[in-house]
Amino acid sequence: MTNKTVLHAKHIEAGAKMVDFYGWDMPINYGSQIEEHHAVRTDAGMFDVSHMTIVDVKGADAQAFLRRLVINDVAKLDVAGKALYTGMCNLEGGVIDDLIVYFFTDTDYRLVVNSATREKDLAWIAEQSAAFDVTVTERPEFAMIAVQGPQAKAKVATLLNEQQTAAVDGMKPFFSAQAGDLFIATTGYTGENGYEIALPAEQAADLWQQLLDAGVKPCGLGARDTLRLEAGMNLYGLDMDESVSPLAANMAWTISWEPEDRNFNGREALAAQRAAGDQPKLVGLILEEKGVLRSGLKVISEDGEGIITSGTFSPTLGHSIAMARVPRSVKLGSTVEVEMRKKLVKVQVIKPSFVRNGKKVF
Amino acid sequence: MSNIPSELRYATSHEWVRNEGNGIVTVGITEHAQDLLGDMVFVELPDVGDNVSTGDDVAVAESVKAASDIYAPVTGEVVEVNEDLEDSPELVNSDAFGDGWLFKLKIEDEGELQSLLDAEGYANSIDED
């Protein structure tokens, strides 16, 4: 049984090429994923992300529960609407999923987790929450549209009423606000400014059409992948999974080690890995000659072998980029080799971040 | 159903061949093939003067999604390559049977063209994919 988002008919109407994405029939592109990519870097594009899973966590123990569940510390959140990117680990320190936590009050939070991991996430959250006084509620009645790009906010602004305009006025990155029926967050997966908007499913097609009429280009999963990779953002299932430590997935910055007495899931295992210093690391690779680095290709360095976790052609840069997991001793700025189509090509190692706000960042 | 011009011949590996006369043929990949591959980002072409045999991998079409070998549909010598693809590989997407051509061959045996599929045969072959 294939799931369809409430915007499915709009995708078909726009001539989308549909693919199966973990059980969801989703648009891969509406003609050219490269044109869609450029629209987001230079103007405004939108993505149907209604397949993602929204989970509300409420109750007296909501803060205490999330301080156990995720590797970042939600106690750091003290301004209503603030968002936090982090990971949810198992007791062995493997990444069950990455997610965004939105803070409203110490008893009221919203999580947005991946759709591909929905079932195991919900099962894990349910199991872990049993000892806490919280209610965990999935919100499938919401659709979600991400509007991203340098002109995204301006184009959305033309559609907002007075109350909604006031709610988003001056909103900094990684914040959110409930504005009437719209839950509007300044988060995204592209490295550009913009919003992710959750709203009642029955209103989604109208908002999508209004955004189209405002000149926002529909973009599929193809462009979403090249944009997130240029931005150096991980994709769960490729760049990390349950067999991978956040220390090996460029997610160490999402772990809050202080205070020392916060016993988050996986802490013991992660602290031991950190002390040993032997986890591999996730780096960026750039290939300036012809060819495209692809997931699964072997990386060869003087310090040992690694593997490309995600690779693509970067439409913004005009050459291939990748993320790769390599031995920790491989230095940024060094040159390593990738085995590609029966030959070895030289690639440069950089921090895994390539493009932000339309500009090259390395 | 994608466009399959009736005046061309086809290989099951999705190349098309146009007989230009005087033993010259033009080779490209079909609209169906470019649609499967998605946006083209690099096209590696053979060198002019290369002698190629039917079935040799002679070129690579690399899209955002995958790298795909392109095979010589007939035996011959490469006499021209589409240099516009160096800067504009997207021509393969926008005009697969026209400006997106890949290379031209001087063929040895025109009879070999008869062993390729006609439009109907190719249409049937992609139905079976």
Of A28, A290, A312, which is closest to B42 when you measure between CB atoms? Answer: A290
Same domain membership, residue A272 and residue A132: no
Instruction: Kindly give the confidence (pLDDT) of every residue in chain A, 362 residues in length, as a single tens digit, with 9 standing for 90 and above.
Output: 699 999 999 999 999 999 999 999 999 999 999 999 999 999 999 999 999 999 999 999 999 999 999 999 999 999 999 999 999 999 999 999 999 999 999 999 999 999 999 999 999 999 999 999 999 999 999 999 999 999 999 999 999 999 999 999 999 999 999 999 999 999 999 999 999 999 999 999 999 999 999 999 999 999 999 999 999 999 999 999 999 999 999 999 999 999 999 999 999 999 999 999 999 999 999 999 999 999 999 999 999 999 999 999 999 999 999 999 999 999 999 999 999 988 899 999 999 999 999 999 99
A290: which chain B residues are within 8 Å (Cβ-Cβ)? 42, 44, 62
| Candidates B38, B42, B66; nearest CB to A33 | B38
Interface touch A222/B38, C-beta < 8 Å = yes
Q: Tell me if A341 and B42 make a contact (CB, 8 A cut-off).
A: no
The two structure tokens encoding residue A73: 């510390």
B67 touches A: beta carbon within 8 Å: yes
3-state SS assignment for residue A5: coil
Q: Does B69 touch chain A (CB under 8 A)?
A: no
Of A202, A230, A258, at which residue does a domain stop? A230
> Any CB–CB contact under 8 A between B87 and chain A?
no
CATH classification at residue A192: 3.30.1360.120
Q: CB-CB: which of A28, A33, A292 is closest to B62?
A: A292
In a domain, B105, yes or no: yes
CB pair distance less than 8 Å for B42 and A291 = yes
- Are A24 and A169 part of one and the same domain? yes
The CATH number linked to B30 is: 2.40.50.100
Question: Cβ of B39 and A33 within 8 Å?
Answer: yes
Q: How far away is chain B from the Cα of A90, in angstroms, using its nearest Cα?
A: 33
Instruction: Find the domain containing B75 and state its range.
Output: 9-119
A225 and A78 both lie in a single domain: yes
Chain B contact set for A294 (CB, 8 A):
66-67
Q: Is B95 on the interface with A (CB under 8 A)?
A: no
pLDDT along chain B (129 residues), means of 10: 89 97 97 95 96 96 94 97 96 97 95 94 86
Question: Which of A164, A195, A230 lies at the terminal end of a domain, its last residue?
Answer: A230
* A226: nearest CB among B44, B64, B67: B64
Pick from B36, B41, B70, B95 the residue to mutate for testing the A interface (most A CBs within 10 Å).
B41
Q: Is A146 exposed, middle or buried (0-12, 13-18, 19+ CB in 10 A)?
A: buried
Which of B40, B111, B44, B115 lies closest to B78 in space, CA to CA? Answer: B44
Helix %, strand %, coil % for chain A, to 5? 25, 35, 40
- How buried is residue A241: exposed, middle or buried, by Cβ count under 10 Å (0-12/13-18/19+)? middle
Query: What is the rounded end-to-end Cα distance, in angstroms, of chain A?
Result: 44
pLDDT of residue A187: 98
CB contact under 8 A, A312 and B64: yes
In a domain, A39, yes or no: yes
CATH number of the domain residue A252 falls in: 2.40.30.110
Query: In the β-sheet with B40-44, what is the strand arrangement from edge to edge?
Result: B40-44, B57-63, B67-71
Q: What are phi and psi of A284, to 5 degrees?
A: -100, 150
Q: Which amino acid is at A57?
A: V
A-interface mutation test, from B62, B64, B91, B94, most A Cβ less than 10 A away: B64
Are residues A77 and A183 both part of a single domain?
A: yes
Give the total number of structural domains in chain A: 2
* Structural domain range at position A353: 246-360
Q: Is the distance from CB of A117 to CB of A236 less than 8 angstroms?
A: yes
Q: How far apart are CA B30 and CA B4, in angstroms?
A: 8
**Residue B41 contacts A, CB cutoff 8 Å:** yes
CA of B1 vs chain A CAs: smallest distance (Å)? 14
* B2 found inside a domain: no
Cα separation of B91 and B65, whole Å?
17
**A280 burial class (0-12, 13-18, 19+ CB within 10 angstroms)?**
buried
Q: Does residue B45 sit within a domain? A: yes
Please report residues of B whose CB lies closer than 8 A to that of A313.
41-42, 62, 64
Query: What values do phi and psi take at A297, rounded to 5?
Result: -75, 145
Nearest CA in chain B to A292: B62
Task: Tell me the chain B residues in contact with residue A292 when contact means C-beta distances shorter than 8 Å.
Answer: 41-42, 62, 64, 67
Residue B3 lies in a domain: no
ipTM over cut 0.90: no
Task: With beta carbons less than 8 A apart as the criterion, state whether A163 and A206 touch.
Answer: no
pLDDT at A283: 98
Q: What is the DSSP string of A112-147?
A: EE-STTHHHHHHHHHHHHTTSS-EEEE-TTEEEEEE
DSSP state at residue A361: -
Tell me whether residue B37 is in a domain. Answer: yes
Q: Do B42 and A292 touch (CB under 8 A)?
A: yes
| Of the residues A230, A259, A281, the one at which a domain ends | A230
Chain B residues near residue A291 by CB distance under 8 angstroms: 42, 62, 67
Number of domains in chain B: 1
Task: Answer whether A292 sits within 8 Å of B39, measured CB to CB.
Answer: no
Rounded (10°) angle between helices A62-69 and A118-129: 120
- Put simply, whether B36 touches A (Cβ < 8 Å) is no
Q: Based on the domain organization, do A148 and A259 belong to the same domain?
A: no
